[in-house]
Structure 1
Amino acid sequence: MQLRIFTEPQQGASYDDQLAVAKATEELGFDAFFRSDHFLAMGGDGRPGPTDSWVTLAGLARETSRIRLGTLVSSATFRHPGMLAIQVAQVDAMSGGRVELGLGTGWFAAEHAAYGIPFPDKRFGMLEEQLAVVTGLWNTPTGETFSHHGRHYQLTDSPALPKPAQSPVPIVIGGQGKKRTPALAARYASDFNLGFAPLDQIAAGFERVREACRAVERDPAEITYSAALVACVGTDEAELARRAAAIGREPAELREHGVAGTVAEVVDRLAWLAEQGVQRTYLQILDLSDLDHLDLIAREVAPQL
């Protein structure tokens, strides 16, 4: 089981807050630092205000040396795919080839309204085209050009530069859709993620992706199967309750839906997730000031996996 740290900076985190967590992520031996891509807090005032995910990751690329860096997930509504391809390729080069692109349709209408971003009712086609454009630009041989004439995007004779350091850049696709999402994952994903899915539906969600892979004659084992779940761990009940209160949650609810409880309980939950087919877990860390929480997971939980 591979453990990654996943943060929600729109809830109220500066770049320096994220840098501290990213450095701890690296020093404590976790595999990756991922962040959401949102511009509006979901409850609370979100002060000091949102930070752009790819600007942030560019900074972290120069401040870290080992951990993977990525989004879970960027919204197809936020950036033109041509510009997104340039941004991700540049951050990948800045990191020495450690970037992963998580991309989805977007869902939070209020943040679009707050910052004047169009939010069409139907967005899956945009996501499909963005993946075609981004990967098409990256895969075009140097010296050749790339064109795309679709419903949502038109590119003509692009030089398809710059190229990322990695070839290919890993792409994370997630969602609980039963047909179109698995088909898209089978075509593009290196990591298929079920974010905050009901635990008893994880195995079936992964199997739908495997079936979609077989339908297009792709080896299902080429994809890493992952889950994103809130994390809240304590050495005892008092510490667990304190950490739960700090993020506005109840221990019982966290135990039911997340990776939460005492160290022994969390080890058991992660072992159970592995039995469901989870190979990688994105631990959603909501209190970015509590670096001792990361230390506890790295010191007491990770060695037992």
Structure 2
Amino acid sequence: MRIGVTPGKYAQQIHDALTQRIGMQAEFIAPEVDAHKYDLVLAVDDEDAPPGAKTRRYVTHHKAKTSSWDVVAARHLLVDAEKRGAENPVAVPLPIAAATPIRPAQTGLALVENKQTQEFSKILNAAGHQVLDINDPEVGIVVDLSATTSRIEPLRQAMSEEKVVIAMRANPAATDTIHDKSDGRLISSYNELKEVVEELVSNDFERQRLGFEARKAIANTNWARVVRGLLLDGRSGMPVLEHLSQLAAQKRWKERLGHAHPWKSAQYVDDRYLELGNQRIDISQISQLRKLSIAIAPGRRDPYSPNS
């Protein structure tokens, strides 16, 4: 199979992952080339792709203008992918290659650039916390105060460097990436920021534990998985083994949520809800495969228990 890879930020990683697969001939391909001789062209975000061959794209952020959202870098982007007409979008987390060696998370603080940066820099400085440049080697805590969707890459880059990321629960890019108190921190309001920062600065063990877990979480994906997603065109059907492997599904459920995540103890109710205490999430509208995957992971509530 002959595959063209458009030039761009992640072209080398995609090319290298393709060459590791049997029967794949991967080549970098310029936008002005006639691509008829290629079976497939792979591109990232809005990179220009040559005409003449089918193009599949890996979309890494919510502002991509392309209409081809075939594989996305986080689950919250699946909704946008479907709105743009993608029939079988796949989510594969964005791989980040961390520099080595890595120091345990330091006490330095940096803010991801956005509209609130200057305002909160002043607030944190007034509280005695110096805000450093995000690339300063003394930075071990990175704060993203976006109340709406932000880019995934800065969050994952910081986590790959064993830094603790603090972000807003209202930011779907953050909630897709961070498990609160497991590999980072999520806050519900700006008022919580100073308290969480002070806790992390003063507690070396907790800061370094979260940084270590953050790096481990980012290391769980790679470009081979991205390429596999890009090559899965028109996937249909349901893997039979997924029905049978309940123990494996439960293990994945707990690992993905993190040991401190409250929803790891949720229960599946009435063949449509995830329930935790008085909270309910309706999963009846998601795809059949995803619904089944979620349904078999947590335990089902005992219909004969007094709490039913």
Higher radius of gyration, 1 or 2 = 2
TM-score (norm 1): 0.29
Q: Which has the higher contact order (CA 8 A, sep 6+)?
A: 1
Give 1 or 2: higher helix fraction. Answer: 1
TM-score (norm 2): 0.29
